[in-house]
Structure 1
C-alpha cells in the first residue's frame, strides 16, 4: 500500500520544515508583543511571517490517517503557514487517488513558501493555497467538504466553521488544533453542544486536538 509520507522527497521537506520550526521559541522572544497583541488578523500574520507555528509530527500523522480513512472530495485548511500540515493532508489525498486540498493563509511570504514546499515534495498538483482572509477566499469554494483543519487565528476558528457548515458533507470531520488555548473556549462550547450537530472528542496531541464529526 502506498504511503507518500515515506517518500524521500516528502520526508526531506518535512524534516527541513520541522528543523526550521525548532527556532520558533527564539523568534518569539524577539517579538514586540505589545504590537502583536494590538494588531488585527492581517497585521498579526505579517508580524509573525517568520514563525512556523506548526502542528506536531504526531498531529500530522493523525491528519493523514483521517484523510485516508474518510476519503474526502474536498479538504479545507484554515491557517497554512509554511505548509507542514498541508503536506500531510496532500500526501493523504494523493494516496487516496481522489480529492483536493484548499489551504488558506494571510501572509504573502508564507503563501509563497508553502507553495514552494508543496512543489518540492511533488504534491503541488493536489493542493491549492488561497491567499488572504479565509472568510473571503473560501466563500466561493463549492462543497461537499469532507474534512476541515482549523489551525489559524483562534478567535476566527468558529466563524470560519460556521461559514463552511452549509457546504460540509454528512459525516464531515472537523479538526481543531491547540484547543488548550483560552481563546478556543467558545469554539469548544459550540462543537460540544449536541444541538449544533456534532459528535466531538478531544485528543491529547501536543496542545490538544478536537475531532468533531458533522452528524
Structure 2
C-alpha cells in the first residue's frame, strides 16, 4: 500500500518545497531577538532533511500518537510528514507552533494544498505561550525551532507527555543544543535517549 506521503499531491509538493529549501542562503541575524530573527528569516525554509522527514513519518506511524506537537513549523515541510502519518493512522492531530506570521500563512497554504489541513492546527506566536494550552497526553514532540528554546519548550510540555512518548530534536550537532542534550541524556530526568545520524543529527528520546 502506498502511503499518503508518497502519493500526489503530498509527494509533489514536498519535492517543490525541498527544491526551494535547497536554494536557501545563510542570513546573519546577529544578536536579534527570536521575533526579529523570525521576521528576518521569513523567506528561509530551514527544513528537516528528506531522510529526517521519512523518519518522522515512520515514528508517528509506529507509535500512533493521539496528539503530536511541533515546535518550529516554518513552511510546513516537517508538518506535512507528521500530518501524512496521522492521516494514514486514521486518528490523531498535529499542533504546530510558528513565530513568523508569513510562515504561518505559507504552512497553512501548503497543508491545504496537500489536503491535510484538517489534521493540523498551526498556532501563531511564541511557542511558550501557544503550546501552553495543548492538552495531553502528548505522544510525540518535534523540536525544530530556535535551539536555545528547545529545552524550555520541552520543560513546558513534560507534564503532559504520555508514558513512552517520543521527543525528537533536530540539528543536535549545533553547539546551542548542549543544554538540551545534557537534559535528555541524563537518566535522572526520565528519558532514554539516542542520537540518530540524519544530516545535522536528530536526538530521539523516549519518556521512560
User: Which TM-score bucket, shorter chain as reference?
Assistant: over 0.9
**Is 1:69 aligned with 2:62?**
yes
Higher percent of residues as helix: 1
Structure 2, unaligned runs of 5 or more = none
Say whether the 8 Å CA contact 1:177–1:208 is kept in structure 2: yes
Instruction: Tell me the residue number matched to 2:17.
Output: 17
Deviation at 1:37, TM superposition (A): 1.8
* Partner in structure 1 of residue 170 of structure 2: 177
| Displacement of 1:2 | 5.0
Measure the CA separation in 2 of the matches of 1:196 and 1:174: 13
Aligned residue runs from structure 1 range 121-136, under 5 A = 121-136=114-129
Structure 1: which 5+ residue stretches go unaligned? none
- Deviation of 1:22 (Å): 1.0
Matched residue, 1:205: 198
**Paired residues for 1:23-172 under 5 Å:** 23-25=23-25, 28=26, 31=27, 33=28, 36-172=29-165
Contact 1:2 1:95 in 2 (8 A): no
CA distance in 2, matches of 1:2, 1:104: 29
Counting matched residue pairs gives 208
> Please, what TM-score do these two structures have when normalized by structure 1?
0.95
Query: TM-score, length-normalised on structure 2?
Result: 0.99
| Structure 1 residues 146-180: Cα deviation after superposition (integer angstroms, max 9, x where no partner) | 00000000000000000000000000000000000
2 CA distance for matches of 1:154 and 1:38? 14
What is the root-mean-square deviation of aligned Cα atoms in Å?
0.7
**For the residues of structure 2 that align with 1:139 and 1:181, how far apart are their CA atoms?**
26
